Amino acid sequence: MLKHGILGLLNYGSMSGYDIMRTFKNSLDFFWTAQTSQIYRELQTLKKKGWVTDQNVVQSGKPDKKLFSITESGKEELNRWLAEEDTGFETRSPIMMKTFFRGEKSIDENIEFFSRIQRSCGEFMSEMSGPPKNISMYEQAVKNPMISMYWKMTIKYGVMYIQTLNEWAGQCIKELEEIKNESTDD
Amino acid sequence: MLKHGILGLLNYGSMSGYDIMRTFKNSLDFFWTAQTSQIYRELQTLKKKGWVTDQNVVQSGKPDKKLFSITESGKEELNRWLAEEDTGFETRSPIMMKTFFRGEKSIDENIEFFSRIQRSCGEFMSEMSGPPKNISMYEQAVKNPMISMYWKMTIKYGVMYIQTLNEWAGQCIKELEEIKNESTDD
DNA sequence: TGGGTCATGTAACCTGTTACATGATTAG
DNA sequence: CTAATCATGTAACAGGTTACATGACCCA
């Protein structure tokens, strides 16, 4: 999956490992995180597979860099992956894992747990409403609205996802508070 | 994370590796998948850490099994983990990764891509509306509504998540179809 | 007699995380 | 002068996936 993410980015233009890392951080990071070390390792694998090539670029005032470019067979692989039929949703949610076992904790502690989720959602939303971080990528994309459209779809998903999580946490809190009131009434 | 999932299950009662595997499949599977091989490996790690103990149980008509039980220090670890403050959302979404790069494909292919997501959502929802698979776990939980409440919250989240995904895919299709109509009108 | 469930795992591999190392330039 | 940015990576470990192996019992 990360391999194809890297191929996809290189398909927009040649980049160094460092460029890829930054692009990941300010565009794909929300739904796929990647460490620098992993990106450099994957680039070596992609090179071995013949999907990318690299060349040294001497820079003045900055350290030299390796520019990676996608090859024809790399483009074929990218297209094969995009055409592949997906099966299932493959979510992995630490939040749900913890929620599942929260019966061990008191109602008040759990209200606090869900409130913390809501606070995180709020922080995320206010970050989102500010100016977009991925300016340099946007600049390129504006030239080709057919590409930036899909980027915007993933951002839209991110917003909807956080809103849903926020709403869900709210419902959980409400449920817990009703239980608290019932037991106080007796 | 899987370690704590296993500890959490063993906290409800002693189980064999096989029992844990089945419980995972019909309750935690949606937000955390685990292979059998991984569960057996993790159980060995948990044993080394002193969080679980095991004993052989001879069965007639079935192969012998190893019953794993949580220890006091295992319970402490479970509680420590539950009290831990979470940072971030940590989503990993293959669907979004593919969406991000769909500019490579035609509008019609992409409408088909989003329609396939909607079909998967539909299948998921009709499975959910049927009788719950995790009957044996429910039986136990009914005795303690304070525990089953949190399980139901995770199921609720699953439903809301799929609904959001479905709605998002619908909006994407709408957007693509508008573009199609615009270019036909010219 | 063939497939499903129960029950255990090993081996190899791939992917992801954490910590560390190096070193120049530039902005505050 | 100090922290951030640019730029490369290695090493070790943790976590996840795929494939394989074994064997008995039960039901159709």
Domain limits of chain B? Answer: 1-89, 91-186
pLDDT digits (tens, 9 = 90+) for B101-130: 999 999 999 999 999 999 999 998 988 776
- pLDDT at residue A31 tops 60: yes
Mean pLDDT of A1-29: 94
Output B139 or B116, whichever has higher pLDDT: B116
- pLDDT at residue A82 tops 60: yes
pLDDT score at B56: 87
pLDDT digits (tens, 9 = 90+) for B34-91: 999 999 999 999 999 999 999 988 777 777 889 999 999 999 999 999 999 887 788 8
* Nucleotides of strand C within 7 Å of the protein's CB atoms: 6-12, 15-20, 23-26
Q: Which candidate, B55, B82, B58, places its Cα nearest to that of B71?
A: B55
Q: Do residues B14 and B69 touch, judged by C-beta distance below 8 A?
A: yes
pLDDT score at A87: 73
Q: How many Å lie between the alpha carbon of A94 and the closest alpha carbon of chain B?
A: 7
- Distance, angstroms, CA B158 to C1' D23? 38
pLDDT digits (tens, 9 = 90+) for A18-29: 999 999 998 899
Q: What residues contact B86, with CB distance under 8 A and at least 6 apart?
A: A94, A95, A98, A116, A117, A120
Least confident of A26-30, A47-51, A79-83, A173-177: A26-30
Mean pLDDT of A98-110: 96
* Nucleotides of strand D within 7 Å of the protein's CB atoms: 6-12, 15-20, 23-26
| For A33, nearest residue in chain B (alpha carbons) | B92
pLDDT score at B26: 85
pLDDT digits (tens, 9 = 90+) for A108-148: 999 999 999 999 999 989 887 766 665 566 667 777 888 88
pLDDT score at B136: 63
Find out if CATH 1.10.2020.10 is the number for domain A1-89. Answer: no
Neighbouring CB atoms inside 10 A of B186's CB total 4
Cβ distance B92 to A11 less than 8 Å, yes or no, reads: no
Neighbouring CB atoms inside 10 A of B8's CB total 21
Return the residue matching tokens 């969406």.
B99
